[in-house]
Amino acid sequence: MKTRRRLAILAATAITGVGLTALATPASANTTVTISGSGSNLTVSPSSITGTSVTLVLANDVSSLVVSQSLSDADGVCTVSRATLCKVGTGTAGDTATFEIAPGTGGALVRLIDINNNTLATFTVTYPVTGGPAPHIQQFGKPATGTCDEAQPEGLNWGGASSGGWSESWAQWANEGQGGPVCTRILAYNNSTATWQVQ
């Protein structure tokens, strides 16, 4: 009897754990824009995208070029001055093309144009802003000789932060609370590279 009860408790715990894991998984945003219509009457849906990339899908046999300082493909930024313009497939229904959205982009206009640079439709793209950790002050007691950069203890180069960047300051905690000179720097988290950097 005790064995059955333990198995029931373990099974309930496992099911609850799976449920909590499913709840904690974030929903992925749809970053697909569908292009439909014909000729100079193109429409796009949705008209605004937030993501790190956008995939354009042709609903019909339409053809258009893509222009935006905020989008790029394997050949570079999608500008009209590029030798080979960014485009969506060959004009066959179902063709797709994926473009990277530049970090820091906020509501940038993307134009779908024809070969004569006439705008056929537009939509906007935004690179997502994530909270990330707040900047962090690092300090250690200033050595009697040498520089702060030379005396940096191990373990302070968090998540990609480089060595150095120290300046001299004063802090109350030094010298057992009596105050004194310290080496100090600020690390800031860069959301686009997911690394800490010396400010």
- CATH code assigned to 32-126: 2.60.40
**Helix, strand or coil, per DSSP, at residue 149:** helix
Domain definitions of the chain by residue range:
32-126, 136-198
Of 19-33, 56-70, 90-104, the one with minimum mean pLDDT is 19-33
DSSP 116: T
Q: For residues 21 and 199, which has the higher predicted lDDT (pLDDT)?
A: 199
Q: Under a CB-based contact definition with an 8 Å cutoff, are residues 42 and 29 in contact?
A: no
The pLDDT of 88-116, averaged and rounded, is 88
Nearest to 152 by CA among 161, 144, 160, 142: 142
Residue type, 66: V
* pTM score of the predicted model: 0.53
**Residue 41 scores a pLDDT above 90:** no
**Residue 134 scores a pLDDT above 50:** yes
Q: Which contiguous run of DSSP H or E holds residue 24?
A: helix 2-24
**Residue 46 scores a pLDDT above 60:** yes
